[in-house]
Structure 1
């Protein structure tokens, strides 16, 4: 077996505490609400979270089946804070596509 196929077969298990660290908050905007019509949910996630970790966290916390995970690193905006220039922090966004028939209601808590 080559190193690539061997590494793809190794599956790490994410602890319950790490699941809560990975999924920070749901994003509720007009664009993400339109995505919910296509079985997609958008979350703010930890900057060091990987796609397999995000998938396991969503499946473990919300008891749903995940089809795909797409991630985006969002750069912080330059803004003025009390008249002085500053930069908002960078953050990571994950768009999680669910299998047909599964649904997450982000308006209710865990």
Structure 2
């Protein structure tokens, strides 16, 4: 079994994810490749001591980006959108404990 801190890599903080956090109590995380929804649920519940209602995952493929004449690659990312049960929240910007 993986350590819970190895499953969740970092929170994804964008305008779209902040809007979902404010309206629907959903949080977006970058997670390790190869993890499933059950492992993500257990990791979030163990790290932040909350109850998870639903987990949605998506994989984005690696793609090329161009800035002027320079070509580069955007890495592939495994994302998870976690919806918490009513009354629970995660303080992403503050200290954990």
> Which category of TM-score, normalised to the shorter sequence, fits these structures?
0.7 to 0.9
Equivalent residue, structure 1, for 2:76:
90
Tell me whether 1:34 sits opposite 2:19 in the alignment.
yes
Equivalent residue, structure 2, for 1:107:
93
Superposed CA RMSD: 1.8
Query: How many corresponding residue pairs?
Result: 95
Match of 1:57 among 12, 19, 43: 43
Provide structure 1 residue ranges, at least 5 long, that are not aligned to the other structure.
1-13
Taking structure 2 as the reference length, the TM-score comes to 0.87
Bigger share in helix: 1
Shift of 1:74: 1.3
Provide structure 2 residue ranges, at least 5 long, that are not aligned to the other structure.
none
Taking structure 1 as the reference length, the TM-score comes to 0.77
Tell me whether 1:72 sits opposite 2:58 in the alignment.
yes
Counterparts of 2:28 and 2:71, CA distance in 1? 30
Shift of 1:83: 4.6
Counterparts of 2:94 and 2:4, CA distance in 1? 18
